[in-house]
Structure 1
Amino acid sequence: MKQIFFIWLLLVVSHSLQGASGKEQGPAKPNIVFIFTDDQRYNTIHALGGHEVITPNLDALVAGGTTFTHAYNMGGWHGAICVASRTMLLTGKSLWQAQKIERDLTGLVSGEQLWVQQMKKAGYETYMTGKWHVRTDPSKIVDHVVNERPGMPNQTPEGYNRPLSENDTLWTPWNTKFEGFWKGGRHWSEVLADDAVSFMESAAKKPEPFFMYLAFNAPHDPRQAPKRFVDQYPLDKISVPASYKDLYPFREEMGAGAGLRDEQLAPFPRTRYAVKKQIQEYYASITHLDEQIGRILSALARTGKLENTYIIFTSDHGLAVGHHGLMGKQNMYDHSVRVPLVISGPGIPKGEKRSQQVYLQDVASTAYQMAKVDKPGEVFFNSLLPMARSAKVKSPYREIYGAYMNLQRMVRTDRYKLIVYPKAEKVMLFDLQKDPEEMQDLAGHPSHRAVLEEMKTRLTRQQALLGDTLNLEPVFRSPARR
């Protein structure tokens, strides 16, 4: 793993020096490699605040590009948040518009064009491997599809409600008998890297630009990795989240109770030991994933395509894994809606960060601009390139909106976040500058009454903009709202 990292770091430096010389290589249009993970929280990269996580290759990608530190998923219309996230990504539609076409999405619905189709139309040779998870056949719209995966690897009964105690050792992440990521004999993350390397070696012999959609299932559960990765995370070195709770008080009303699959992974009530074991396996899965990304990046450089290639890295949403007493992503806290987002390539500043609030689905519009492709007129999301090139460019979004079914709503600014649970008649307000872990609810404080009203206005404005018809007025009028 260290060897891969140093090779890639050397190539990043080489990329910078050659770019400065003014020499251009490759086709007129740049190649675009999109790397997409599943369930990866925004701070699970060492270089981005994940001090307990080992990610040398992603750290090198951060050093070689520009990171958007406040990128969000807009939410979901059922428990599989990844379906909504990917449907928005591929169609360019915002949450509730994407929901309308998700049920019968075929790639061409009422003139709809998917992101990959637009790249193909623009002359790109298109590749896809890994998780797809939208209701259309990728082989009908992508030139090369290898090892298309389902929404998640199969879980087994042994993977739930665990560990019950320190003596509960029935499940181990490296035991291939549970299949999951091991189904087929080789870990799915390794298979994806194999596929990507093969694609790149083939593409290196062709003049056409390529667009690669590389979608890992990891670090989604079952969080499996070879033993050597788990061994890098001794339990006594893993911290329990500051927001840890044995039970989240509004779990049933906000749709994250015992009936939700994600929440069944750990015992109720939560225990610190169970949370640490889940985090251990989560981190091990990410480090194993990082090694595969290193293989992909090294192959890109080895085939001579690095100089004219943009790399976009992000995830479809985050994951709680013990924060606030929750395990899944079906909530509006930053640990579940906020993701890492890194861009590198020609003209992208190196080692810089941007704090503007954006949506992760902006990466498709970003790729359009990279490829000099006209963005379809009905696409909601926006290119990140202007902000990547200059920290002074403002976000196109006045605030960020979030929703989960009709059970949760959220709006946030650079400083404040408002969360609403309609069934519980609960409104929460957080000062994100003073309370980044979102632990101190200020909704009932008289000193924040004006802020609360402002955030309500912002949420109402976003609902109107996005076609959200859920009526929240009864919640705001209820005496129980605080």
Structure 2
Amino acid sequence: MTQFLKISLLLTLFANSLFAESAKPNILFILSDDQALETLSIMWELECQTPHLDSLAKEGILFTRAYNMGSWSGAVCMASRAMFNSGAFVNRANQTVRKQPQWAQIMKAAGYKTYMTGKWHVPGKTFKNPPFDITKNVRGGMPAQTEAGQNRPLHPQDYEQGWKPWDKQHGGFWEGGKHWTEVTADDAIEFLDDAKDIDQPFFMYVGFNAPHDPRQAPKEYVDMYPIDKISLPKNHLGLYPYRDQIGCGKQLRDAAIMPFPRNEYATKINRQEYFAATTHMDHNIGRVLKALKDSGKADNTYVIFTSDHGLAVGEHGLVGKQNMYEHSMRAPFIIVGPSIPKGQRNATSIYIQDAMATSLDLATIAKPEYVEFKSLLPLIEEKTKQHYPAIYGKYINYQRMILKDNWKLMVYPYAKKYRLYNLEKDPKEMHDLADKPEYKAVLDTLKSDLKKLQVSMGDEFDFENPPPIDYAALKKFKKKSH
């Protein structure tokens, strides 16, 4: 072979390599915080309106049974994001995210330009400096809550005289002058405008803090939801009977946002503000999606939208996400892109943190051994119908859960109580079957299955013989939960 041919061949191989790199799809990952699946108006369950997320769902697949595994602390979102960025299951994520290359680092090593804005809140050495090529307006776990935003409203007069979601003097989402949801969207739009001139594929991590409390939004969004049009949840309770034994009593910051008991008025006001914050975020997500289209990159971009977990806001007499009910464990999960079928729903049980493994699969990047979550492509391509044989849940040592074949068993070790629900017949989990003799065999089988699942999850907690509660730790707990 002549020298000329050798040079020509090398140039061709180099050009092909560059083409292959540029042909890799872009990944836009959008993550909200505290958003239950039922807040999507496309689910036809609540008054909440999410037109842009509804449109996104129609462009791809909406997974309607996407779960978070739970948490080792009251800060469920921190555990959730450790799982997202490490790819490890909940009991190993806190260590794995500190020791192994994170999601963005894996993408960067594969030739991606990486960008992040908004909420990070991932434990370890990257806590303040996320490992992306470009970061902007990185936020902590939550906007500062004020005393005025706690234990409210007691009654209509208390509301009229007290804290308002649109009042900027209390800071929170308004700290800095512009609502954080708008700042995060502005940042993402700015990057997408610049992306028109980027030859590399990009990985965007856009983390909204909304609709986490303090549930603040511009007044026009609150006005969209008149209090007399807000329905009380079917599974609403004034007080959850086992709240103290499961770590959801007055010691929990999230639980103290609403008054005890959860009266009808307080529940409706908090849901009004929850919906307003969600709709405000939806509007700004719509702006980001428009910017993606305007960038000319949409045809080669996969969009994955999900949330850390859900939220109760009065359902079952609970407020936060520190429980094993569907409203708190289940979040929206939407995936859209070039090879994704449009307008589909998939009811297979998945974990929201499958997002990372899915993105690696889409980008043809080998999944590291420490990544335990699974790619969704085999489900999307209909190569399999089962994803996980059972879904696992935990909340510190106060709660354990297994979901299998539409049966959910929740374990409260310190209440010495089991709760058993058939989700097919009782989707709002209002009829506990645990003490009914005819379901004893189901309960015993699920207990056995949960113990086996604990082994695979690295969970050594003996829920039948729990150690004494550390009350000294509980005193610090109220300040740390968010």
TM-score of the superposed pair, with normalisation by structure 1: 0.90
The CA deviation at 1:296 is: 0.2
Query: Identity over the aligned pairs, expressed in percent?
Result: 51
SS in 1 for 2:249: coil
Question: Take 1:79 and 1:177, find their aligned partners in 2: how far apart are those partners?
Answer: 28
In structure 2, do the counterparts of structure 1 residues 71 and 62 end up closer, same or farther at CA, with 3 Å as the change threshold?
A: same
- The residue aligned with 1:435 is 426
Match of 1:121 in 2: 109
Structure 2 CA distance for aligned equivalents of residues 139 and 99 of structure 1? 17
Tell me: CA distance 1:248–1:140, structure 2 relative to 1, closer, same or farther (3 Å).
closer
Measure how far apart 1:386 and its partner are: 1.7
* Maintained 8 Å contact 1:84/1:99: yes
Separation of aligned partners in 2, 1:318 and 1:299: 27
Q: Give the TM-score taking structure 2 as reference length.
A: 0.90
Whether 1:55 and 2:43 are equivalent positions in the alignment is no
What does residue range 372-451 of structure 1 map to in structure 2 within 5 Å? 372-390=364-382, 393-451=384-442
Q: More deviation in 290-299 or 392-401?
A: 392-401
Which amino acid is the alignment partner of residue 133 of structure 1?
A: H
2:348–2:387 CA contact under 8 A, matched in 1: no
Residue 27 of structure 1 aligns to a residue in which SS?
helix
**Secondary structure in 2 matching 1:314:** strand
SS at match of 2:31: strand
Aligned to 2:24: 29
Question: In the aligned structure 1, how far is the partner of 2:285 from the partner of 2:320?
Answer: 24
Distance 1:269 1:25 in 2: 60
- Cα distance in 1, alignment partners of residues 129 and 437 from structure 2: 57
CA distance in 2, matches of 1:388, 1:378: 23
Counterpart for residue 319 of structure 2: 327
Q: Which range moves more in the overlay, 133-142 or 186-195? A: 133-142
Residue from 150, 154, 179 that aligns with 1:160 = 150
Q: Deviations over 1:3-29 (max 9, x none)?
A: xxxxxxxxxxxxxxxxxxxxx999310
8 Å contact from structure 1 (residues 347, 389) kept in 2? no
Hey, what does 1:225 align to over in structure 2?
217
Q: How far does the alpha carbon of each residue in 1:112-170 deviate from its partner, in whole angstroms, 9 at most, with x for none?
A: 11011000000000000001001333646210000000100001110000001011221
**Equivalent residue for 2:201?**
209
Work out whether residues 41 and 54 of structure 2, in 8 Å CA contact, stay in contact via their aligned partners in 1: yes
In structure 2, the CA distance between the partners of 1:182 and 1:260, relative to structure 1 (3 Å rule), is same
1:141 alignment counterpart = 131
User: What amino acid sits opposite 1:124 in the alignment?
Assistant: Y
2:324 and 2:75 map into 1 onto residues whose CA distance is 15
Are the equivalent residues in 2 in contact too, given 1:443–1:449 (CA < 8 A)? yes
- When structure 1 is superposed on structure 2, of 129-138 and 363-372 the one drifting more is 129-138
Tell me the residue number matched to 1:307: 299
Q: What does 1:188-203 align with in structure 2 at a 5 Å threshold?
A: 188-203=180-195
Match of 1:11 in 2: none
- What does residue range 285-296 of structure 1 map to in structure 2 within 5 Å? 285-296=277-288
Contact 1:26–1:308 (8 Å) recurs in 2: no
Provide the rounded CA distance (Å) in 2 between the counterparts of 1:186 and 1:339.
Answer: 27
| Matched residue, 1:40 | 35
Distance 1:412 1:140 in 2: 34
Tell me the residue number matched to 1:82: 77
> Who is 1:479 aligned against?
none
Residues in 2 aligned to 1:178 and 1:269: alpha-carbon distance in whole angstroms: 26
1:26–1:307: 8 Å Cα contact kept in structure 2? no
Alignment partner of 1:423: what SS?
A: coil
**CA separation of 1:271 and 1:51: change in aligned 2, threshold 3 A:** closer
1:184 aligns with 2:176: yes
Which residues of structure 1 form unaligned runs of 5+? Answer: 1-23, 476-482
Q: 1:91 pairs with 86, 91, 103, which one?
A: 86
The CA distance in 2 between the partners of 1:228 and 1:69, in whole Å, is 30
Q: Secondary structure at the match of 2:37?
A: coil
Asked whether the equivalents of residues 53 and 287 of structure 1 are also in contact (C-alpha less than 8 Å), the reply is: yes
What do the CA deviations read for 1:185-235 (whole angstroms, capped 9, x no partner)? 000000011000100011111111000000000000000000000000011
Query: Where does residue 460 of structure 1 map in the other structure?
Result: 451
How far has the Cα of 1:417 moved from its partner? 0.2
Report how many residues are paired.
Answer: 444
| 1:464 to 1:291, Cα distance in 2 relative to 1, 3 A | same
Identify the match of residue 150 of structure 1 among 137, 140, 159: 140
Instruction: Name which of structure 1's ranges 45-54 and 63-72 shifts more when overlaid on structure 2.
Output: 45-54
Equivalent AA in structure 1 for residue 357 of structure 2: S
| 3-state DSSP of counterpart to 2:38 | coil
Conserved in 2, the CA contact under 8 Å of 1:308 and 1:345?
Answer: yes
Distance of 2:388 and 2:358 partners within structure 1? 15
**2:329 corresponds to 1:337:** yes
Given the superposition, is the C-alpha separation of residues 140 and 292 from structure 1 closer, same or farther in structure 2, using an over 3 Å criterion? Answer: closer
1:439 deviation in Å? 1.1
User: Map of 1:224-243 to 2, 5 A cutoff?
Assistant: 224-243=216-235
Q: Indicate if the aligned counterparts of 1:34 and 1:313 stay in contact, CA closer than 8 A.
A: yes
**Secondary structure of the corresponding residue to residue 261 of structure 1:** coil
Q: SS of the counterpart of 2:157?
A: coil
* Helix, strand or coil at the partner of 1:276: helix
SS in 1 for 2:39: coil
1:77–1:404 Cα contact (<8 Å) kept: yes
Secondary structure class of the residue paired with 2:191: helix
Measure how far apart 1:38 and its partner are: 0.3
In structure 1, the residue matched to 2:356 is 364
